[in-house]
Amino acid sequence: MYEKITNFIKDLYGNQDFTPLSVPVFVGNEKKYLNECINSTFVSSVGKFVDRFEEMVAEYTGAKRAVVCVNGTNALHMALMLAGVERNDEVLTQALTFIATCNAISYIGAHPVFIDVDRETMGLSPVALRKWLEDNAEVKSDVCYNKHTGHRIKACVPMHTFGHPCKIEEIVAVCQEYHIELVEDAAESIGSFYKGRHTGTFGKIGALSFNGNKTVTTGGGGMLLFNDEELGKYAKHLTTQAKVPHRWEFVHDHIGYNYRMPNINAALGCAQMEHLEEYVLNKRETAHRYQEFFANMDDISFFTEPENSRSNYWLNVVILKDKAAQQEFLQYTNDHGVMTRPIWELMNRLPMFEHCQHDSLENTIWLADRVVNIPSSVRMKIL
C-alpha cells in the first residue's frame, strides 16, 4: 500500500527524485518588482510595495486594515499586546500548533492553557473551550478570572490548522460570553474562508505568516488583520518604533518595536498576491486528486475541508490507523524520496510548556498519533 501511495504522489508532482512538502513558486512579477526596489534604492522599511502589499491583503481578506510585520511570530506577539495581554495573564490556545503561537504568548510573560481541538477541523474546539471555562473561569465586572490560579484569562488564540478553518463563529460566541479577547492565528490560512469570510477577520486581530513554506511567501514576513481601523493605525505606529511623524525630529511616544517588513520582501508579497487565487485553486485541485485516490483505501484516509469552509489546503493531511502505522508510513515515504512529516510535537510535551494547564486533549492526542502531512506545493504542470 505504501508503495502505491508513494508512486501516486511522485506521479502527481512530475516524478522528481525528491518530492518536497511545500515549496514556493515564483511565476509572476517577483523579479520585476525586486528590480524596481533595487533601482529605486528603496529596499528597506519605506517604499511603495509595503503600502501596496498591505492594501492587497486588506482587500483580499476583507479586513479594514492590514499591517505588515517582519514575520508571523512577531505579528502574533504584537496582536496579543494589542489585545491587552499582560504578564501572568492566561491565554487559551491549542497544544496542536506550531511553536510560534506559544512563543508569542511567552514573550509577554503570559501563560498558555491548552484546550482540545475538534477532529473534523484540527482546530480549537468551541465545546472543549466552553467546558474548560465552565469548570475553571468566573467573570467579575466583565473580567474573566481563573478560579483556581487567580490569574486573569485575557485572550484566546485558535489556529486554523494546515489552512482548515476551525469553528470560528462558535468560538467568537464563547469568547464574547466570557469577555475574552479573540486573536486568530491565521498564519497557515491565507486563502481560507469560513462561510465566505476570510480567516483572521473574525476576532479582534488576526495574524498571517509569509514564511517560505506558506501559501504566499515574502521570504519571511507576517501581517496583522484588523476590523477596527483605529487599532490598525495604532499597530502601524507601534510596529514602526512608535515614532511621531515629523520631517526631521526623532520623537517617540511609546516603547515601540522594529517589526517593519522591508520593501523588498513586500515586493515579493505583491507579486505573490497577484497569483494567490490561482495557487489556492491549484492546491484545491491537488487535494481533490488525493481525495479520490485515498477514497477506496482501507486504514488510511484523506482529510477534507470542514463544513462551511473553503480551505486553502496549505498542507494536505492523511490520517493513519494508529501510531505504529504513522511511523511506518513516515519511514517508507521519506526513504523513497517523498517528503512527509508528522504533526508538531504537542506543546504540552515540550519542556517550556509541560507545566501548563490543559484539558483532556483527547482529540489532540488522537490526531498527533495519526496525522501525516504529504506533499502540497502548487503543481506547476497545471498552472
Neighbours of 1 (CB within 10 A): 13
Q: Which of 61, 209, 282, 333 binds ligand PLP (CB under 6 A)?
A: 209
Minimum distance from residue 11 beta carbon to ligand PLP (Å): 28
53 belongs to the binding site for ligand PLP (CB under 6 A): no
122/23 Cα distance (integer angstroms): 23
The residue whose grid cell reads 495519526 is: 370
167-186 positions binding ligand PLP, by CB under 6 A: 185
d(CA 212, CA 220): 6
Of these, 22, 45, 97, 312, which contacts ligand PLP (CB under 6 A)? 97
Question: What is the number of alpha carbons within 13 Å of residue 323 lying toward its C-beta?
Answer: 4
Query: Residue 96: which of 345, 369, 359, 304 has the closest Cα?
Result: 345
Among 24, 47, 72, 163, which residue sits at the site for ligand PLP (rule: CB under 6 A)?
A: 72
> What phi and psi values does residue 348 have, to the nearest 5 degrees?
-75, -5
Decide if residue 162 touches ligand PLP (CB under 6 A): no
C-alpha 135: how far from its chain's center? 29
12 or 280, CB closer to ligand PLP?
Answer: 280
Q: Which is nearer to ligand PLP, 9 or 208 (CB)?
A: 208
Task: Work out which of 13, 98, 226, 313 binds ligand PLP, going by CB under 6 A.
Answer: 98
Query: CA-to-CA distance for 79 and 105, rounded, in angstroms?
Result: 10
Site membership for ligand PLP, residue 188 (CB under 6 A):
yes
Main-chain dihedrals φ then ψ at residue 199, nearest 5 degrees: -60, 145
Number of residues binding to ligand PLP, judged by CB under 6 A: 14
Q: Is 225 in the site for ligand PLP (CB under 6 A)?
A: no
* 187 in contact with ligand PLP (CB under 6 A): yes
Residues 6+ apart with CB under 8 A from 275: 25, 27, 28
Rounded-to-integer distance, Cα 348 and Cα 369, Å: 15
Binder among 163, 222, 269, 375 for ligand PLP (CB under 6 A): 222
Name the residue number minimizing CB distance to ligand PLP: 72
Contacts with ligand PLP by CB under 6 A lie at 71-73, 97-98, 100-101, 159, 185, 187-188, 209, 211, 222
